Amino acid sequence: MITAIDVIRTKRDGGELTTEQIDWMIAHYTSGDVADEQMSALAMAIFLQGANAREIADWTAAMIASGVRLDLSGVGRPTSDKHSTGGVGDKITLPLAPLVAAFGVAVPQLSGRGLGHTGGTLDKLESIKDFNVHFSEEGIADQLRDIGAIVCAASKDLAPADRKLYALRDITGTVEAIPLIASSIMSKKIAEGTDSLVLDVKVGPGAFMKDLEQARELARTMVRLGSDHGVKTGALLTDMSIPLGRTVGNALEVRESIEVLAGGGPADVVELTVELAREMLAAAGQPDADPAAALQDGRAMDVWRRMVAAQGGDNDAPLPVAAETVEVKADKDGHIATMDAYAVGVAGWRLGAGRTRQGEPVQFGAGVEILKTVGEPVKAGETVFRLHTDTPERFEAAEESLRGQWTVGDAPVERGSLILDRITG
């Protein structure tokens, strides 16, 4: 007979869990028969002792089996998706989904909300007036068939074991365990039913994974899991040492994404959007597609406007603007030498763009504009950051988070490569 305490002891002492033990633990935790305290103990044991490839695969399969798996076979298009491990200013999903859909590929982008210093895609999109993120499985399939792109919340029936376990890991110091990260991400993405998946694994101070080798291990683990479940999976490792683009915050990032869809926008956002689109299109059978051209000629913008309208959003309504702004200025001439992405993310969070606990409302207009970024010249008195919030008492804490976290040097600094590595299945 399997018991929770025996499973915990096995992993605590460095043993290997059987498939039966893993299936039993996940099923009974989902049903409520295994207590949070017991699953917390097992998560900590995995955090400390690790798990081998077979255990991770079984854990992932058990979480998929805890709920439904979407059936997108009737969409009538190849399906491809992207998942980012989270960063600062990471608004790539917004221009990417309609860009890939412009080539006849369906993009079922089931997204989440922000917590802490990293923003959430759903929070950004809900800054658009009346934008709806809640859809049934039938509604998702209908929109993919008609328009080719949807960005919405995942159903509560999709990998419910992960929903419970993620919340538990977040409050028990076990988030960073690679076996648990990989199985959490991939159980949801595999259950989503997509044909192919491209992972954007962020690396650096503003990312969840700070170390390049650890990020490679995570990427390889997730690519293997996807491939083993019949999902064509690859990964890009991308730099998150400085913020992506020029904005951090919900409506601010939507505005920047629309600039990209209009053929403009910051070079790094355009570069990453195009690179991820190429990977997704190649996985969907279009290796020679030119996504950069679809940004310039308006095809991606057309899909974006159709997608927003189909999800109830008002394309013509003005985006929210914060009531108050404060500018942070350079105190000497030179070039921006460093800018810590995490510090900028924390500033945006403190201004009201993020939340400290699940369910807390966000300020749609709050955030940070970056007027000067790494490598650019600046003069004393010029604005480097513009801070936005509806509650001016937040400015002091936001400015404190930036203090000492960006520097001005005498000589120009070249930014490193945005794409650090590729992992293929």
Question: For the segment 131-151, what is each residue's pLDDT rounded down to a tens digit?
Answer: 999 999 999 999 999 999 999
Which ranges constitute the DSSP H helices of 66-136? Answer: 93-101, 121-125
Best-predicted range by mean pLDDT (36-40, 111-115, 117-121, 166-170)? 36-40
Cα→Cα distances 102→95, 144, 261, 294, Å: 11, 12, 12, 7
169 is an active site residue: yes
pLDDT band at 112 (very low <50, low <70, confident <90, very high): confident
User: For residue 294, what are its two tokens?
Assistant: 């679809």
Q: What is the pLDDT of residues 32-50, one digit of tens each?
A: 999 999 999 999 999 999 9
Largest Cα span, the chain = 72
- Which candidate in 188, 189, 350, 388 is catalytic? 188
Mean pLDDT confidence for 339-358: 90
Closest CA to 222 of 259, 239, 197: 197
- Which candidate in 155, 184, 257, 401 is catalytic? 184
184 is an active site residue: yes
Tell me how crowded residue 317 is: count the other CB atoms within 10 A of its CB: 11
83 is an active site residue: yes
User: For residue 65, what are its two tokens?
Assistant: 């089996």
Give every CB contact of residue 81 below 8 A, 6+ residues apart in sequence.
Answer: 107, 108, 109, 110, 189, 192, 194, 196, 197, 198, 280
Residue 52, classified by CB atoms within 10 Å of its CB into exposed (0-12), middle (13-18) or buried (19+), is exposed
Judge whether 401 and 350 are in contact, CB under 8 Å.
Answer: yes
Tell me the domains of the chain and their CATH numbers: 4-50 (1.20.970.10), 73-154+190-316 (3.40.1030.10), 324-409 (3.90.1170.30)
Q: What is the pLDDT of residue 300?
A: 98
- How many Å apart are CA 28 and CA 22, to the nearest integer? 10
| pLDDT > 90: percent of the chain | 86
Mean pLDDT confidence for 25-30: 96
Residue type for 185, please? I
- How many Å apart are CA 96 and CA 155, to the nearest integer? 22
Judge whether 230 and 283 are in contact, CB under 8 Å.
Answer: no
Higher pLDDT, residue 422 or 358: 422
Angle at 191 (CA atoms; ends 185, 193), nearest 5 degrees: 115
Mean pLDDT confidence for 57-66: 96
What pTM, to 2 d.p., does this model score?
A: 0.93
Closest CA to 242 of 270, 207, 215: 207
3 state DSSP class of 339: strand
Q: What is the pLDDT of residues 371-381, one digit of tens each?
A: 999 999 999 99
- Which candidate in 82, 83, 202, 255 is catalytic? 83
Closest CA to 97 of 132, 142, 134, 147: 147
Closest CA to 238 of 50, 369, 421, 13: 421
Q: Which residue has the tokens 């207009």?
A: 365
- How many Å apart are CA 165 and CA 264, to the nearest integer? 41
- Which candidate in 28, 124, 169, 394 is catalytic? 169
Mean pLDDT confidence for 238-251: 96
117 pLDDT higher than 80: no
pLDDT band at 115 (very low <50, low <70, confident <90, very high): low
Tell me how crowded residue 171 is: count the other CB atoms within 10 A of its CB: 11
User: For residue 215, what are its two tokens?
Assistant: 């990020």
175 pLDDT higher than 70: yes
pLDDT band at 422 (very low <50, low <70, confident <90, very high): very high
Q: What is the pLDDT of residues 322-348, one digit of tens each?
A: 999 999 999 999 999 999 999 999 999
Q: What is the pLDDT of residue 360?
A: 80
335 is an active site residue: no
289 pLDDT higher than 80: yes
DSSP bridge pairs for 389? 324
Q: What is the pLDDT of residues 380-401, one digit of tens each?
A: 999 999 999 999 999 999 999 9
Mean pLDDT score across all residues of the chain:
94
290 pLDDT higher than 90: yes
Judge whether 126 and 358 are in contact, CB under 8 Å.
Answer: no
Q: Which stretch of DSSP H or E encloses residue 134?
A: none
Q: What is the pLDDT of residue 168?
A: 87
Q: What is the pLDDT of residue 416?
A: 87
358 pLDDT higher than 70: no
pLDDT band at 224 (very low <50, low <70, confident <90, very high): very high
Residue type for 108, please? P
End-to-end CA distance of the chain: 38
Torsions phi, psi for 49 (to 5 deg): -100, -15
Closest CA to 92 of 272, 323, 321: 272
Q: What is the pLDDT of residues 245-259, one digit of tens each?
A: 999 999 999 999 999
